Structure 1
Amino acid sequence: MAGHGGDVVKELETDHREVEELFAQILKATGGHRKALLDEVTIELVRHSVAEEAHLYPAVRKHVPGGDAMADREVEDHARVERLLKEIEDRDADDAALAGLATTLVEEVTSHIRDEEQNLFPALRAACSKADLDQLGDSVRLSKSTAPTRPHPGAPSSPAARKLLAPGVGLIDRVRDYVTDRGAA
């Protein structure tokens, strides 16, 4: 999921469609192929989540009436998904529990996507100017390019801490990915 261009909503919706395509493949795959696809979707979901937590949710809190509650709910969703991704990462390709974990991941993330697209995105579009949305899109794309690629459920969740730590953790993750060929499928 490289940067796609456009405002923040277009950027994130494009990410959502790409994740949904990976989910369709994951649900059909088995064994090592499923594990490789789960690694790929993990990389994308972690990058996406870090960018949302660093830029999207602070903007929702600032501009959208009732934005604090909305952003809090989305951050809670991310925390659940990140714990699930960590559990998946720690499993071998032939682990019998992997199929169930994959199904749970698809259900959790699909629900999160639906909520964002039906509630959060329209509220943000109504509250922000086109220039603000375009600038947020640029910030999200930049953040994704330096974000971690592995789940770190114990990492600080505040936007300021994520912005500060993400590039360093992301570099370490990308080196580990390169050395292990993770995500090279």
Structure 2
Amino acid sequence: MTNLRNPALRSVADQSEAERGGPGSILSRQSRDHAELDELMRAYDRATSAQERGRLVAEVAERALRHAFAEETVLFPAYRRFLAGEDDELTRHIEGDHQAVNDALVRLQRADPASADYDAVVRATFEVIRHDAHDEEDDLLPRLQQAVSARRLRAIGAAWEAQRRTSPTRPHPRVPREPPGNVLAGIPLAVSDRVKDGVDHALPVGSTRRRLAPLVLLALAAGIVVARRRAG
């Protein structure tokens, strides 16, 4: 694929794994993650129920947020370090898109997948995610590839993957988009997100169990009060 902004750059999407620096290279890791995200978004198009669409959006959200956080804490700082003489408009633009996706996911996080405006917000969010993937594979990653060795690309890839695995899994509107603020904020948020993920797994949003949970907790609390009064 020809890069219209810089014809000398060859898109990562058109390169073999060996050309990218191997499976552990940041180019290969990013490309695989983009492909898996795209498949989840295509699965949303094929979904036949609101519950399935909600599940797929939650999965896209978790993967996209981890992907973006790892970019902002590992990939973009590496890009700025090794291409220090270049205009940094590209990473700033992608960070702005990340914020837009984050804000949309905040709206979707507790929204009912059966609501009238849910699908429109989801599709607009998916469009931004796909746009970012093209910016990265057609422009940012090829530029980095020209500036560093394959060994360095693999080192960046390993650091990116380690960060991706421990990143927050939920949207947080006030988290800084650049180090060191995002790194410091990300540690406690990642822990709290996993606790909330466990609750959502047991009680999916929009499910009967989720709707009944407050009533169950209220009944349990009332039972405890009655038991204490009797004991007293």
Q: Normalised by the size of structure 1, how large is the TM-score? A: 0.91
1:52 aligns to what?
71
1:25 aligns to what?
43
2:130 aligns to what?
110
Q: Does 1:130 align with 2:150?
A: yes
Q: Does 1:121 align with 2:121?
A: no
**Deviation at residue 112 of structure 1 after TM alignment:** 1.0
Instruction: State the one-letter code of the partner of 2:114.
Output: D
Instruction: State the one-letter code of the partner of 2:28.
Output: K
Q: Does 1:87 align with 2:107?
A: yes
**Deviation at residue 89 of structure 1 after TM alignment:** 1.0
What does residue range 1-185 of structure 1 map to in structure 2 within 5 Å? 6-29=24-47, 30-64=49-83, 65-181=85-201
CA distance in 2 between counterparts of 1:157 and 1:105 reads 18
Other structure's SS at 1:159 match: coil
2:113, 2:119 within 8 Å by CA — same for their partners in 1? no
CA distance in 1 between counterparts of 2:99 and 2:199 reads 27
Q: Which runs of 5+ in 2 are unaligned?
A: 1-22, 205-232
Q: Deviations over 1:24-67 (max 9, x none)?
A: 01122230110010001100011001000001111111112425
Instruction: State the one-letter code of the partner of 2:69.
Output: V
Q: Which runs of 5+ in 1 are unaligned?
A: none
Q: Normalised by the size of structure 2, how large is the TM-score? A: 0.73
Larger radius of gyration: 2
**Deviation at residue 165 of structure 1 after TM alignment:** 2.1
Instruction: State the one-letter code of the partner of 2:53.
Output: R
1:51, 1:143 within 8 Å by CA — same for their partners in 2? yes
Other structure's SS at 2:175 match: coil
Shifted more, 85-94 versus 65-74: the winner is 65-74
Instruction: State the one-letter code of the partner of 2:59.
Output: E
Other structure's SS at 2:88 match: helix
Q: Deviations over 1:109-132 (max 9, x none)?
A: 111111111100100100111222
Instruction: State the one-letter code of the partner of 1:39.
Output: A
Instruction: State the one-letter code of the partner of 2:79.
Output: V
CA distance in 1 between counterparts of 2:162 and 2:185 reads 14
Greater relative contact order (Cα 8 A, min sep 6): structure 1 or 2?
1
